[in-house]
Chains A and B, each alone.
Chain A
Amino acid sequence: MSTSIVAHLWLIPAVPLAASFVILSLTNVQRAAAAGFAIAGQVIALLLSLGAFWPTLQTPGYRVFQNFTWFAFGEQALRIGFVLDPLAAVMLVMITLVSLCIFVFSVGYMAADRNFTRFFAYLSFFSAAMLGVVIANSLLLLFVCWELVGLASYLLIGFWIHKPSAAAAAKKAFITTRIGDIGFFLGILWLYGRSGTLLFYDGGTGALESVGLLSLGTSATFIALLIFCGAAGKSGQFPLHVWLPDAMEGPTPVSALIHAATMVAAGVFLVARVYPLFSLGAINGVTPSLTVVVWIGVITALISALIALAQPDIKRILAYSTVSQLGLMMVSLGVGGVAAGIMHLLAHGFFKALLFLGSGSVIHGCHEEQDIRRMGGLRGLMPVTFFTYAIGMLALSGVPLFFAGAWTKEEILHATSQWSPSRVPHYLMLAGVVLTALYMTRQMIYVFFGDRRAAAAHAHESPPVMMLPLIVLAVCAVGFSVVLTPAWPWLHDYLSGERATYNFSLLIQPMLYFALALVAAGIGLGILLYRRASEIDPIERTLPALFRFLENRMWLDELYDRTILGWARFAARLSDFLDRYFWDGLVRLCGGLGRLFGGLTKSLDERGINAGVDDATGVTRALGRFVSARHSGQVQIYLSVIAVGMLALLFLYAWLT
């Protein structure tokens, strides 16, 4: 039975893909049909994912794969395949569930849009690609779906094509991820070159299996780091995170789906998937590649958390919070807490999607107003949104007991504390937790508390079709914590392949209380600071330089623009200049030389040779004229000439002999 499931695994991405092609062929008018197809496709995918999830529960460490040849070049064959293991199964369920909620939400959110059908086509195309990434058993197939996910994100970010900023954001997103993908591509090539196959699990000879790993030797770290570049690009890690905040130009459901739950998670998933590469030759769990991952994660988390504090736009705050959370996940993976990282990924997927959809309904309510400083006091006007948004905020900031975020964060902090090389990440992560709580409370106060400012004047509650997904997600965010608590770490064990055991006593962890204290401190500080919410941000009043520095995203964009992009544009203009004038100049130079040489020979020919020949002919002509004068026409002259001629000959003969 298990093999049959894996045989049909490809159906999961195929159904949404088919749905997207069908929708593409529909015209803009058939809106209902488009939405229907999309949601149906998603529901089927969810059911199939659950179907696939069920067998993985029976046996711990469950892994089933199925490979087939894609094409043969020369005598070699390129094989790809699908794999089903706890990591994939869990991700499948999360993606399909979250996508379904977002699809339903966007029916309402995008109702007013003209290209409604095209939006749903792109969305189902995106989910299909994301599902493909998750179940791929070959790094190549993964890369293919990875790129398609990038394409989908480009299309979705740039959905409102008429807005130049959206188009620029889409281009920026695609290019930045593309930079990461280039590294990833090199990693693939290297891996393929060294291990001879790109299949993860191929009955022992796969790249991630013992035989394949052994053949890698020292290059494993480099391959791992290159693959991490791809992950960093996609998940918005430190150097390549600039595209994510700009990606907020896209419609909110897009942000919710892509930039909260799924796509950005792909990077983390990738690192988790190829973890054996990272941990190859680990000395008590530490390898150079992993340390790099940790430090990148730490930096990303801190920077984005700080920047989030100074952002006026409701969605940008959430974006930076996502970046920070992703940094946190990377740190957890880096320090060895793979399961912890994935658990936080899942939890984050739910409540971040919830928060984004909440902000979506807020924006919808305030008639496309995104600046929190112009909102306020929406608590009364949009109660359901406020309530679900509050749950999301609490989960995110890690309030323990009822909220998923807390447990996963606590697991990560626990893992970071175990990390041998240095304790600094651990302390920084603690600071991160405080900052998260701080900027979330700032946002809550600005949006929902305090007096209503301009945009919020006549805000109105969103229609039920948008409310339902919010509620579902809120339930998930809370319910999910059930499986997360240390008492019954079902998910942790499931992921790490052990049998889950119920042990209530573990519930109480010293780290838990410490974390609780930190969160409380964060929220309290937030309330203290932003009590008198006003146009001008309190920090701005106290530390204007710092605030402006943070508000402008630490001038990173400008830095990139002036340095890397600047050089690149310069290189482009230079090569064009070279092309137009230097190489072309050379050619023209040869042409000139040729003409010069031609001119030289022409003049030599005319003056030198011709003149000489003319003179010679002149002499002969003169001689000719003289002789012809002798032709007097008199017969006797001729006769005498003959006679004289004969005499001369005779004389000559006589003289010679």
Chain B
Amino acid sequence: MAHLITGLIFIPLLGALFLSVVPPRLARPAALGCSFITGCLALEMWHHFDAANPALQMIQQHVWIPAIGAQALAGIDGLSLLLVLLTSLIFPFAFCAGRMSRGFYSIMLVTQAALYGTFTAQNFVLWFLFYEMSLLPAFLLIRIWGGEKRDRAATKFFLYTFLGSVALLLSFLYIYFVRGTFDFAELAVLGKTGLLTGNLRWLAFAGIFLGLAVKVPIFPFHTWLPDAYETAPTGASMVLTGLLSKMGVYGFIRLLLPLFPNEIRIVGPWLLGLAVCSIVFASLAAWAQSDLKRMVAYLSINHLGYCMLGLFAVTASTAAPAVEAQAALSGVFLQIFNHGLTAAALFYFVGLLEERRGARGLGDFGGLMQRTPLLCGWMSVAMFSSLGLPGLNGFIGEFLIFKGSFALAAGYTAAAVLGLLITAIVFLRAMQALFSGPLADTCGNFPDLRLGEKWVVVPVTLLMFAVGLYPQFVLHIFNSTVTQMARLLG
């Protein structure tokens, strides 16, 4: 049971290797098989996970590089398990998004392994290894299978994120030299009593913040995202938006917040300001887009803005009452899960449309409801979920975030709520452009959802409804982690 994590990390890698021998025709089924196995492993892990105990579980500890105190320490708690489950969910979903070459699937599997590693690593060096490991495949995915202008976008994406991670590494090295350990738990304990002193701590804080902000992305550092997601192939953008941005948020929760509590309190207002900016400006920018993928990309920045709002609200306030902190944090966790699911679904639908029409502009479609009612129906459900319509999964996350952050930072939350409105406008504008009006002659012969696509869309949407109506089975996973973390951060 203890070796689940290593299994989880290495099976995709083996799968990636195995793919090179599989005939191209069978590449997708093989990839699906491999991710199915990891899915079973994840479920097994969930089964063995004791939700009541907030501490790290299934810890695997191996001496790795004792000289620099780098331990291959991996373990999962509520948050990690949630993200592992999300990864095992998103990847099969991404594999179904269009038939690609073997190389594509093997690189995707490598990304999956990297993500599992990132979400379970408890030692910075190991975490950083997987953090970087996920960067390269993402770059390759965009670079090789992307749309037009892909090489510029891919290079910008890679360099931008890479620069961030370099800053991250430098600051952690500084921390290591001062404190002598890379282990998150120890650092968190040290963090409570002021990890660093003097003005260099601000540099370290800034370094880590930059590294993670680029990854999330938060407002000023987001310009790479639209280009990257726009040109990325459907499967890749689903993974990019669904999981890679989650690594940024996970990084904040795991790395930055516990380590620099009082720095964040000092800088709190600015951070909240940034979060609100990224919510509002991103949604505004989405409104002005004519390209569907670029629009969804901006919206994913917006949604991540909510997560950041929740996190900063909890950590920025001096003494956050337990209720609000727990509400905000569980809202953030749930939002991470929901956004992963919904954004991936949106990209999947956009991918379907693009596959049929060959173009992604809003103007390229019209009156699809008459031609492909099923596709439009399910797509509008995904849109409404992303919009935050109650009864679907988006609303619960957002409600909890806003409930928590409103009590802790009323002004910012009020401004952020505007984001909700604009998101609604953006989606409705898209729905109007796509579904309503007379059937455009260009999409006269669009086929409706094929059987294969139905089998993909229906379960995902049902999951959305399930989480929307009865979120307990997801919240149950990380409730204990949330309480402990609220006490730690609040």
Interface on A for B, CB 8 Å cutoff? 71-76, 140, 143-144, 147-148, 151, 158, 161-162, 164, 166-168, 170-171, 174-175, 178-179, 182, 185-186, 189-190, 192-193, 196, 568-569, 571-576, 578-579, 583-584, 587, 591
Contacts and interface: CB of A to CB of B under 8 A. Distances in A.
Contacts of A571: 284
A158 B421 CA distance: 20
B472 interface: yes
A568 B327 CA distance: 32
A71 B322 contact: no
A71 B424 CA distance: 26
A502 B480 CA distance: 61
A73 B224 CA distance: 35
Interface of B: 156, 159-160, 220, 222-224, 226, 281, 284-285, 287-289, 322-327, 329-331, 334, 367, 369-370, 384, 389-391, 395-396, 399-400, 402-403, 406-407, 410, 413-414, 417-418, 420-422, 424-425, 428-429, 431-432, 435-439, 470-472, 475-476, 479, 482-483, 486
17 contacts: A71-B471, A71-B475, A73-B475, A74-B329, A162-B370, A167-B435, A167-B436, A171-B431, A175-B428, A178-B421, A182-B417, A190-B406, A568-B287, A569-B287, A569-B288, A571-B284, A584-B223
A73 B402 contact: no
B77 to A, nearest CB: 14
Contact of A175 (B410, B425, B483): B425
A168 B406 contact: no
Contacts of B330: 73-74
Contact of B390 (A143, A186, A587): A143
B457 to A, nearest CB: 15
B260 to A, nearest CB: 23
Contact of B326 (A75, A140, A161): A75
A161 B367 contact: yes
B295 to A, nearest CB: 10
Nearest to B470: A71
Contacts of A573: 288
**What 7 A-B pairs are tightest by C-beta distance, nearest first?**
A74-B326, A167-B436, A73-B330, A576-B288, A144-B390, A572-B287, A572-B288
A575 B220 contact: no
A567 to B, nearest CB: 11
Given A72-B479, A186-B406, A575-B288, 9 more contacts: A74-B479, A75-B483, A144-B390, A147-B395, A162-B436, A166-B436, A167-B432, A185-B420, A190-B410
B391 A587 contact: no
Nearest to A177: B424
B477 to A, nearest CB: 12
Contacts of B470: 71
Contacts of B389: 147-148, 151
Given A186-B417, A190-B406, A576 B285 contact: yes
Nearest to A164: B437
B414 A186 contact: yes
Contact of B437 (A74, A167, A569, A591): A167
Most B CB atoms within 10 A — which of A147, A568, A569, A572? A572
A648 B400 CA distance: 95
A196 B438 contact: no
A431 B451 CA distance: 63
A523 B479 CA distance: 66
A174 B399 contact: no
Contacts of A174: 424, 428
A500 B330 CA distance: 51
Given A161-B367, A164-B436, A168-B432, A579 B226 contact: yes
A190 B413 CA distance: 11
Nearest to B163: A590
B391 A73 contact: no
B327 A73 contact: yes
Contacts of A568: 284, 287, 422, 425
A170 B327 CA distance: 34
Contacts of B325: 74
B402 A185 contact: yes
Contacts of A185: 402, 417, 420
B399 to A, nearest CB: 7
Contacts of A584: 223
A572 B284 contact: yes
A574 B287 CA distance: 11
Nearest to B407: A193
Given A144-B390, A168-B432, A193-B403, A178 B424 contact: yes
Contacts of A196: 323
Contact of B403 (A178, A189, A572): A189
A73 B424 contact: no
B289 A161 contact: no
A158 B436 CA distance: 8
B399 A140 contact: yes
Contact of A73 (B331, B406, B417): B331
A31 B324 CA distance: 50
Given A572-B288, A587-B223, A171 B432 contact: yes
Contacts of B471: 71
A74 B367 contact: no
B420 to A, nearest CB: 6
A521 B114 CA distance: 81
A193 B402 CA distance: 10
Contacts of B418: 182
B326 A583 contact: no
Given A144-B391, A189-B406, A583 B288 contact: no
A192 B160 CA distance: 41
B428 A72 contact: no
A193 B220 CA distance: 31
Given A182-B421, A192-B403, A573-B288, A73 B223 contact: no
B438 A575 contact: no
A171 B327 contact: no
Contacts of B422: 568
A178 B426 CA distance: 13
B420 A171 contact: no
A148 B390 contact: yes
Given A164-B437, A193-B406, A76 B472 contact: no
A606 to B, nearest CB: 26
B185 to A, nearest CB: 21
Contacts of A170: 436
A506 B338 CA distance: 61
Most buried by B among A71, A72, A148, A573: A71
A590 to B, nearest CB: 9
Contacts of A190: 406, 410
Contacts of A73: 326-327, 330-331, 334, 400, 475, 479, 482
Contact of B472 (A71, A140, A161): A71
Given A196-B323, A571-B284, A587-B223, A189 B438 contact: no
B285 A572 contact: yes
Contacts of A76: 323, 326-327
A591 B253 CA distance: 31
A575 B284 contact: yes
Nearest to B227: A584
Nearest to B472: A71
Contacts of B406: 186, 189-190, 193
A175 B414 CA distance: 18
Nearest to B333: A73
A204 B475 CA distance: 29
A418 B48 CA distance: 68
Contact of B482 (A74, A168, A576): A74
A220 B292 CA distance: 43
Contacts of B324: 193
Contact of B413 (A167, A189, A192): A189
A327 to B, nearest CB: 25
Contacts of A193: 324, 403, 406-407, 410
A510 B418 CA distance: 50
Contact of B421 (A72, A179, A575): A179
Contacts of B413: 189
